[in-house]
A and B are shown apart, each in its own frame.
Chain A
Amino acid sequence: MSTDPIWENSHTEPDVPLAEDIAPGTANDPVAGASEAATLTVDGQQVATQAGATLLDACEAVSTDGEVLALCSYDDEELIGPRSECRTCMVETEEHGVVPSCSFPAEDGMSVSTDAAAASEARDVNLDLLLSDHNLLCTTCGANGRCDLQDVSIQNEVVEPRYGVMHDRSELEPLDDSSPFIQIDRNKCILCNRCVEACNDVQVEGVLRMEGSGEDTRIGFQSGAETMMDSTCVSCGHCATVCPTGALVEQGLVDATTLPIPGFTHKNSAEGIVGEDYEHQPGQMTPMKRELDTQNEPRASASTVEGDATDGTATEGEDRP
Chain B
Amino acid sequence: MEREAITEGTTTVRVAAGSANRPRGEELFRAAREPESSVASAAVGSTGIEGLEPLVAATLDGETAFFARCSTDRVRSVAAALGDGTLPTDGATAVVEHEPRVATLPTPEDGPLAVGDRVVLGGCGWRRPTSVDDYQAVRSPVAPSVDRSREATARIDEAGLRGRGRGDVAADAPVVEHWEAVAAADGDPIVVVNANEADPRAAADRLLLESDPLVALDPALAAAVALDATDIVVYVNETETLAHRRVRAAADALADELRMDVPIRIVAGPDEYKTGEPTMALEAIEGNHRIEARRGPPGPSEHGVDGRPTLVHTPRTFAQVGRVLAGEDMTGASSDPGTRLFTVAGDVDAPATVELSTGATLDAALPAVETVEGRKAACVGGVFGGLTRSLDVPASAPGLESARLGTNGVVELLGESTCMVALAGSRATFAREENCGRCVPCREGSTQLVGLLRDVYDGEFADGMLRELLRVVRETSLCEFGRDAARPVTTAMEAFETEFTAHAAGRCPAGTCNRS
Contact residues of A with B, CB < 8 Å? Answer: 23, 25-32, 82-88, 90, 97-98, 100, 103-105, 118, 121-122, 125-126, 129-130, 132-133, 162-163, 191, 209-217, 295-303, 305-308, 310-314, 316-321
Whether a CB of chain A sits under 8 angstroms from the CB of B249 is yes
Whether a CB of chain A sits under 8 angstroms from the CB of B491 is no
Please classify the interface of chain A as helix (H, G, I), strand (E, B), loop, or mixed, using the class held by over half of its residues: loop
A300 pairs with B268, CB closer than 8 A = yes
B289 pairs with A317, CB closer than 8 A = no
Besides A30-B303, A305-B244, A320-B38, 8 other CB < 8 A contacts?
A27-B293, A87-B441, A163-B448, A301-B268, A303-B268, A316-B41, A316-B43, A319-B2
19 contacts between A and B (CB under 8 A): A23-B289, A27-B438, A29-B295, A30-B302, A30-B307, A32-B295, A97-B475, A98-B475, A121-B472, A132-B448, A213-B274, A302-B266, A305-B266, A306-B245, A313-B128, A314-B131, A318-B5, A318-B8, A318-B9
Given contacts A133-B447, A321-B38, contact A84 B307 (CB under 8 A): no
B267 pairs with A29, CB closer than 8 A = no
Whether a CB of chain A sits under 8 angstroms from the CB of B435 is yes
Residues 90-104 of B, flagged 1 when their CB comes within 8 A of A and 0 if not, give 000000000000000
A318 pairs with B302, CB closer than 8 A = no
Complex interface: chain B residues within 8 A of A26 (CB): 290, 292
Whether a CB of chain A sits under 8 angstroms from the CB of B498 is no
Given contacts A85-B439, A299-B289, A299-B291, contact A318 B245 (CB under 8 A): no
Contact residues of B with A, CB < 8 Å? Answer: 2-6, 8-9, 26, 29, 33, 37-44, 128-131, 235, 238, 241, 244-246, 248-250, 252-253, 265-270, 274-275, 279, 282-298, 302-303, 306-307, 432-441, 443-445, 447-448, 451, 465, 468-469, 471-472, 475-478
- Cβ distance B197 to chain A, nearest Cβ, rounded Å: 15
B284 pairs with A313, CB closer than 8 A = no
A303 pairs with B244, CB closer than 8 A = yes
A314 pairs with B249, CB closer than 8 A = yes
Residue picked from A88, A133, A214, most chain B C-beta under 10 Å = A214
- Select which of B283, B437, B441 is within 8 A of A28 by beta carbon: B283
| B38 to chain A: closest residue by CB | A320
What 7 pairs between A and B have smallest CB-CB spacing? A307-B249, A217-B437, A30-B303, A303-B266, A312-B43, A25-B290, A298-B287
- A105–B297 CA distance with the chains assembled, in angstroms: 8
A317 pairs with B41, CB closer than 8 A = yes
| B302 to chain A: closest residue by CB | A30
- Select which of B38, B270, B441 is within 8 A of A300 by beta carbon: B270
A302 pairs with B294, CB closer than 8 A = no
- Cβ distance A187 to chain B, nearest Cβ, rounded Å: 14
| B307 to chain A: closest residue by CB | A28
- Select which of B6, B248, B433 is within 8 A of A303 by beta carbon: B248
B441 pairs with A126, CB closer than 8 A = yes
Given contacts A27-B293, A28-B307, A212-B437, contact A312 B29 (CB under 8 A): yes
Complex interface: chain B residues within 8 A of A162 (CB): 465
- Cβ distance B54 to chain A, nearest Cβ, rounded Å: 13
| A193 to chain B: closest residue by CB | B438
A299 pairs with B269, CB closer than 8 A = yes
Complex interface: chain A residues within 8 A of B289 (CB): 23, 25, 295-299
- Cβ distance A33 to chain B, nearest Cβ, rounded Å: 10
A210 pairs with B290, CB closer than 8 A = yes
- A306–B8 CA distance with the chains assembled, in angstroms: 27
B307 pairs with A313, CB closer than 8 A = no
Residue picked from B41, B249, B293, B444, most chain A C-beta under 10 Å = B444
A313 pairs with B267, CB closer than 8 A = no
- Select which of B5, B295, B447, B476 is within 8 A of A215 by beta carbon: B447
| A210 to chain B: closest residue by CB | B290
B43 pairs with A29, CB closer than 8 A = no
B440 pairs with A307, CB closer than 8 A = no
Complex interface: chain A residues within 8 A of B443 (CB): 191, 214-215, 217
Complex interface: chain B residues within 8 A of A28 (CB): 282-283, 286, 288, 294, 306-307
| A89 to chain B: closest residue by CB | B476
A84 pairs with B444, CB closer than 8 A = no
Complex interface: chain A residues within 8 A of B476 (CB): 87, 90, 98, 100, 122, 126
- A308–B245 CA distance with the chains assembled, in angstroms: 7
Complex interface: chain B residues within 8 A of A30 (CB): 294-298, 302-303, 307
B9 pairs with A210, CB closer than 8 A = no
- Cβ distance B217 to chain A, nearest Cβ, rounded Å: 13
Given contacts A27-B283, A121-B472, A318-B4, contact A87 B439 (CB under 8 A): yes
- Cβ distance A31 to chain B, nearest Cβ, rounded Å: 8
- A90–B439 CA distance with the chains assembled, in angstroms: 13
Complex interface: chain B residues within 8 A of A163 (CB): 448, 451
Residue picked from B275, B296, B477, most chain A C-beta under 10 Å = B296
Complex interface: chain A residues within 8 A of B285 (CB): 300
A214 pairs with B270, CB closer than 8 A = no
B290 pairs with A307, CB closer than 8 A = no
Given contacts A214-B432, A310-B26, contact A125 B469 (CB under 8 A): yes
A312 pairs with B26, CB closer than 8 A = yes
Residue picked from B3, B245, B246, B436, most chain A C-beta under 10 Å = B245
Complex interface: chain B residues within 8 A of A103 (CB): 295
- A308–B439 CA distance with the chains assembled, in angstroms: 43
- Select which of B6, B245, B296 is within 8 A of A305 by beta carbon: B245
- Cβ distance B449 to chain A, nearest Cβ, rounded Å: 10
- A321–B248 CA distance with the chains assembled, in angstroms: 29
